[in-house]
Amino acid sequence: MKILIVAPYFYPRRGGLEQYAFNIARIMAKRGHEIRVLCNDVESKVEVIEQIGVERLEADFIFSNTPIRLNLACVISRNIAKWKPDLVNAHMPVIYSADMSAVVSRYRKVPFVLTYHNENVHEKFILNLIARTYSYTLNILTLGLSSRIIVASPFSYYESPFIKRFAKKAVWIPPGVNVRSYTSHKSIYLHQKYQLPYTAKIALFVGQISNAHRHKGIDVLIRAFRHVVKEVPNSYLMLIGSGDRVQFFKSMAEKNGIQEKVIFAGSVSEPDLISSYQSADVIVLPSTSVQEGFGMVLLEGAACGKPVIGSSIGGIRYLVEDKVNGFAVPPKDEGALADAIERIFRDDDMANKMGNAGWEKSKYYDWEVLVDRTEEVFRSAIEERG
C-alpha cells in the first residue's frame, strides 16, 4: 500500500499523537508499505526517517496548539496528484489539517481514514467555546467524509457523542508500546545521573510542560508532592519534558519549598526515557480533563514493570485498574494523589505486585499487533472504494 499520512506534528516531537503516528508509520514502512508524511514544523524541509518520507511545512501561524499552513489543501492535493497514494490517513484532535485532508481526499476520490485520538476540549473558556463549536460543525463533516475512523482513545470510542454518530465505521485501535524495548529491568540510571541516594524514591512524570497541555495537571502534582516530602523525606519528583511553562513550575516548586526535591530533566532520547522509567518507583499522570484520551506514558511505565497513578478521567480510566496495576485518583485532588504516591513509596511488596500486573497488561498493547489491525482497516477502506 501507498499511504499518505497527514499530521499536525511528527517525530521527533514527543506527544501521544506524534508517537502514535510515528510508530504506525515506521512499522508499516518496515513491512514494505510506501509511507509519506505531511506535517508542520518550524521550517520547511524534506527528509527520510526510518524509510518514511517526511515533508515538513513551516506553519504560517499557530493558534493555541494548532499550526495553520494556508495552502495546505493545495499541498495535499499536489501530493495526491503526483504520488497517487492508495489512501490518506489524517490525525486529530488538532484541527485544520485533518479537515483539509478529508475534503481534498473526497475531491481527489482517494479513500480517507481518520485517526481520532481524543475529544477536542480546552480548559480555557474561550478556547473551549471554539473547540465545542468546531466539534459540532466541521468535526462532524470530517467524520462523515471518512471511510473508516480509527479511535485511539477508549473513552472516545465508548463515550464520545460524535463517534457514536458514526459507530458503524469506527474501530478502536489504542496506542501501543514496543514490548521488546520497554522491559521490566531494574535501573539506577536516574540515581546516578542526578547523584541521588540509592535509597531515594522517585515519582516520574513524562509529558509536555506547556500552556497547550495545562490538562496534564502538573500544578496538582507539585502541590501534592509538598505533602509527600513531609511523609517520605527521601522522595523526589522527576519531570521529563519541555515547553513554555517549565519556568512557571520551577517557581511553583520553589514557592512550595520543595525546589530541591523537584528535578526538571528536559526532553530525553527514547533509550534514556526507558532507563528513566526503569529507575522510577511510580509513574504519575494527574490529568484534569478528557483531553487525556489514553495516557500512553502510563502504558510505557507499566511495560517497564512500574506501578502507575492516574486521574480517574478520560481514557486513563480504561488503563489504570485501581489497586491492581496502580491507583486511580479523583482529578485535581492533591490529597488523594499524595496519599497514593506515599502508599507506593512505603510498600515495596504492593508496588512490585502492581508493577507485575501492569507489565502483564502491557503485553496486549504490542505495536506489532496494533499495526496488524491498522493494516486491516486501511485495506478494507481501499477495497470498499474499489
Q: Could you read off the pLDDT of 81-113 as tens digits, one per residue?
A: 999 999 999 999 888 999 999 999 999 999 999
C-alpha cell at 61: 501561524
Instruction: Give the predicted TM-score (pTM) of the model.
Output: 0.87
Amino acid at 11: Y
121/115: higher pLDDT? 115
CB atoms within 10 A of CB 45: 11
Please tell me the predicted confidence (pLDDT) of residue 150: 98
Q: What angle do CA 349, 308, 215 make, to 5 degrees?
A: 155
DSSP 40-95: EESS-EEEEETTEEEEEEE-SEEETTEEE-TTHHHHHHHHHHHH--SEEEEEESST
How confident is the prediction for the chain on average, in pLDDT? 93
Sorted by where each starts, the structural domains of the chain and their CATH numbers stand as 2-176+366-385 (3.40.50.2000), 189-364 (3.40.50.2000)
pLDDT in tens, 11-38: 988 788 899 999 999 999 999 999 999 9
